[in-house]
Structure formats: structure tokens, C-alpha cells
């Protein structure tokens, strides 16, 4: 073939390819304007057909559909997820408070797998993994682009087996490698002790099915161990990532009188009428009206924010610590066919006075940062919250403005307990001060 003939052939081939591409793009152009749901479904089917027909490799139908569902849910807010049968079953087990793994709550922040909070008394907690850590690698797999389901699956495993987490931490130049041995994460929801004669302490690590009963037992034992009456109580909700709503209602309801018309604890407001409700305290057993201090921080989220917000709005407790996380949305577990399910955001939480928790959190009445003897207090012990997550849901209209930079409590610790837990020491000092004032009156 002559040079001229080759040129003509190349031009013809280019024209044919251009026609194919233009035809394909034209055929694939999204429908303009608002269309009916069925038209969008047909449009989706067309996209799937084009991908299956033209992608460079053959694609498994199951992978294609599950990826499409993942993408759809990820475009809504960070707390939605498609759960195949095994992860869906694991989620239900985790709610009950027992699973095998390393013990961290994770989310996606700026496209990175980020630790919300290590769960107390777990391998991750004991190893020193912290809130805000970026999980760079799980074993030899980089986490960039990895969804939460895949990450959880890699970290879970039989008791006694090992997993390596490579962590990037702000302020630390080199990656940190944690070699963790998986264990049964049997989360003990409630711990308690007497701080000083007459002053009790209850820590709730997470709200589970048994939390309400455990909390009632802790109160009974504290009363019994202090001569039948408490002079004050510290309720510690720091690093509590939330959990089930009903136990949180039980905990808050122990301090709020259900016989009053304003015994509201939380409102749920969603688009579907079935997701709109007001939850009031019951008329069951109540605690005497002794002083109550509630500790929160940036790791306090969801159900723990419901408790703090309710007690603050009812003026039943003094909230102390630092700004909470701001996860004010409700996720429902919805079963699907073949054992799979959806974790779907269905409503927002509101405090009794109508404050939206979403992307705002609870502001303490008294700001108390973390500190050690001889060191300045830090008011922002967590460098990210709900409002920093990719695609976070906005607060409802007419809610309070963006959180302020908070100023620390100026005092430094004065006793041995303070050097271990500055915030707890300040809470105990407050309760003793209120008790002293009451006696003087």
C-alpha cells in the first residue's frame, strides 16, 4: 500500500472510532432535568449494561451491584453502609457486646481510615492507639480507598491470631507499627467505684443491651457501700462512642422525673413519619436529687450525647470536660434478602430544648481540659469531630452556630488523683463544693 493509501486507511479508522465514541457518549448522556424514578432506574440499567459490555475485563455481577450500592450509600453521609450477610451478622453480635477483634471504632475522614476511639480494655486500647490516628496499613494492605466493611473484616479474626496496624499520628514523624493479638472483645459496659466517702463514680464505655440493668446495679451497690445515700455522683461518658438508644434513655431517666410533663429525653425527627418520635422518661425508680457531674470529651458521641444533652437541658447535672463529637444522627439496621442488610441514617437527634446534636455536639457547662502536673491544660484533646468527616450531614436549620474555641479551667491539680485524671479530679472538687454550700445554707 502506498503512503497515500495508508493515510486514507488511518483516516477512515479514526473516523469510525470517533463515530463509535461519540455515539457511545451521546447514548450515555444523563437525562436532563427531573425525571420519573423509573426513568432513572432505566438510566442505571443502561449504565450497567455499557460497563458490562465495554469494560476491559469481565466483571462479576455480584461485585458490580454491591459496589454500586456502596457508592450510593457513601454519597449520603459517612454513617451509611451496605452490609453483606457476614458483616451484618457481625454487626448484630457487636451490638450485643461480644466479638473477636482488636477493639477500635473507625470512620472515614478526608478519605482516610481514622480511629474515632479505642474501646476500653481491648488490645488496641492497651497498645496505645489513640483517637485521630490514621490507620495507614492493615498487615500488608494499604487502606487508601478501602471501605469500612473491608477494614473491619481484615481486623476481625479468631482469638489469639495477630494483626499488624501501621498508624500515622499527627506530630509523630515516623509511622507507628502496632502488632496486636486479637481477643474476644467482651465490652464491659459499666464500671463503678467510690471516689471518696459518699461520692460515687460510674463509667459507661458503650451503650449495649445490658447497660440499663448494669447501671441500676452500680447505683444500688454505690448507695449500699456509702451508708445508703450518696452525696454526689460523677457519670463518666468520655470516649463513649454511643450504641443503643434505649439503654441511654434508661440511664438519663434515672435522674429525670417522669411524672412531669417535661420529662422529654430526646426527639427523633426524620423524613418518614415512623422515624419521628419523642421519647420520655418512665415513671420507674429515680435517684435522689444529689449533685451530679457528667464528663464528656471529643470521643463522646451519639447515645452518650443524648444523655448529656438531656441532663443539661433539664438542669439536673453539670456537664464538664470538652466538646463532644457531634454525631446527632440515627442509624437503623434494615434486613435485606439473603441475610444482608443496610445501616441507614433515618433521623436526627434533638435535645429536650430542641437543640440539634448533629455536627455540633454538646458544649460543657464547665470547660475542663486534660492536664498533668506542671503542664498546661488542653481543651481540644480530639482534633476531629463529626463536622470534619467527608460528606457529613448538616445540622437542621435554626440550630446553634459552629462550636467555639473553648477556654480551659485555669486550675491545676493538687492531689495524687489529679495527676492521673485531671478532669475527674475537677468533677469531684465541684461535687464537694456543691455539698459544702448546701450544708452552709
169 neighbors 204 (Cβ within 8 angstroms)? no
The active-site residue out of 183, 313, 381, 421 is 313
Q: Is 282 noted as a catalytic residue in this protein?
A: no
Q: Is 302 noted as a catalytic residue in this protein?
A: yes
Rg (C-alpha) for the chain, rounded Å, is 27
The three three-digit cell numbers of residue 185, written as one number: 472483645
% of the chain with per-residue pLDDT over 90: 57
Q: Alpha helices of 352-421 — where are they, by DSSP H? A: 416-420
- pLDDT, position 25: 41
Band of the pLDDT at 413, cuts 50, 70, 90? Answer: very low
From-to residues of CATH 3.90.226.10 in the chain = 190-440
Q: State the DSSP H helix or E strand holding residue 201, giving kind and residue range, or none if neither.
A: strand 199-204
The active-site residue out of 302, 304, 418, 425 is 302
Q: Which CATH class is domain 190-440?
A: alpha beta
The three three-digit cell numbers of residue 301, written as one number: 458521641
Contact residues for 76 (Cβ-Cβ < 8 A; gap 6+): 345, 391, 393
From-to residues of CATH 2.30.42.10 in the chain = 98-186
- Residue pLDDT, tens place only, 353-405: 999 999 899 999 999 998 654 455 555 555 567 877 767 877 766 554 444 44
- pLDDT, position 249: 96
The active-site residue out of 327, 356, 418, 421 is 327
- pLDDT, position 145: 86
Domain 98-186 sits in CATH at 2.30.42.10
What is the pTM assigned to this prediction?
0.73
- pLDDT, position 307: 98
Neighbours of 318 (CB within 10 A): 18
Amino acid at each position: 500500500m502506498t503512503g497515500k493509501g495508508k493515510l486514507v486507511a488511518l483516516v477512515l479508522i479514526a473516523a469510525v472510532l470517533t463515530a463509535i465514541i461519540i455515539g457511545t457518549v451521546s447514548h450515555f448522556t444523563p437525562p436532563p432535568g427531573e425525571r420519573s424514578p423509573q426513568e432513572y432506574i432505566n438510566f442505571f440499567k443502561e449504565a450497567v449494561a455499557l460497563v458490562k459490555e465495554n469494560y476491559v475485563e469481565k466483571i462479576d455481577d455480584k461485585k458490580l451491584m454491591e459496589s454500586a450500592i456502596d457508592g450510593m450509600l457513601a454519597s449520603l453521609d459517612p454513617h451509611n453502609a451496605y452490609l453483606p450477610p457476614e458483616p451484618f451478622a457481625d454487626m448484630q453480635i457487636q451490638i450485643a457486646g461480644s466479638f473477636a477483634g482488636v477493639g477500635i471504632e473507625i470512620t472515614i475522614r478526608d478519605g482516610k481510615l481514622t480511629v474515632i476511639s479505642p474501646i476500653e480494655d481491648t488490645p488496641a486500647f492497651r497498645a496505645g492507639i489513640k483517637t485521630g490516628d490514621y490507620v495507614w496499613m492493615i498487615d500488608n494492605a494499604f487502606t487508601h480507598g478501602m471501605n469500612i466493611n473491608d477494614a473491619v473484616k481484615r481486623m476481625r479474626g479468631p482469638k489469639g491470631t495477630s494483626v499488624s496496624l501501621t498508624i500515622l499520628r499527627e506530630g509523630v514523624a515516623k509511622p507507628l507499627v502496632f502488632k496486636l493479638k486479637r481477643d474476644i472483645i467482651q465490652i464491659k459496659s459499666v464500671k463503678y467505684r467510690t471516689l471518696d466517702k459518699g461520692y460515687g463514680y460510674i463509667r459507661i464505655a458503650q451503650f449495649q443491651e445490658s447497660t440499663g440493668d448494669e447501671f441500676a446495679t452500680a447505683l444500688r451497690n454505690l448507695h449500699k457501700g456509702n451508708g445508703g445515700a450518696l452525696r454526689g455522683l460523677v457519670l463518666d461518658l468520655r470516649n463513649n462512642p454511643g450504641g443503643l438508644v434505649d439503654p441511654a434513655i434508661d440511664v438519663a431517666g434515672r435522674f429525670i422525673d417522669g411524672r412531669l410533663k417535661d420529662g422529654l429525653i430526646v426527639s427523633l425527627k426524620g423524613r418518614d413519619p415512623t422515624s419521628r418520635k419523642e421519647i420520655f422518661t418512665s415513671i420507674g425508680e429515680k435517684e435522689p436529687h444529689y449533685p451530679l457531674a457528667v464528663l464528656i470529651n471529643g470521643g463522646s458521641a451519639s447515645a452518650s450525647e443524648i444523655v448529656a444533652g438531656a441532663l443539661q437541658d433539664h438542669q439536673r447535672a453539670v456537664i464538664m470536660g470538652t466538646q463532644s463529637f457531634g454525631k446527632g444522627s440515627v442509624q437503623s439496621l434494615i434486613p435485606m434478602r439473603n441475610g444482608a442488610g443496610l445501616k441507614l441514617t433515618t433521623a436526627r437527634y434533638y435535645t429536650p430544648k430542641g437543640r440539634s446534636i448533629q455536627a455540633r455536639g454538646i458544649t460543657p457547662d464547665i470547660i475542663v481540659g486534660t492536664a498533668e502536673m506542671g503542664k498546661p491544660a488542653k481543651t481540644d484533646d480530639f482534633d476531629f469531630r463529626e463536622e470534619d468527616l467527608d460528606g457529613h450531614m448538616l445540622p437542621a436549620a435554626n440550630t446553634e452556630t459552629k462550636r467555639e474555641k473553648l477556654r480551659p479551667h485555669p486550675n491545676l491539680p493538687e492531689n495524687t488523683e489529679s495527676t492521673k485524671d485531671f478532669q475527674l479530679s475537677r468533677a469531684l472538687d465541684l461535687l464537694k463544693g456543691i455539698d459544702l454550700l448546701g450544708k452552709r445554707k
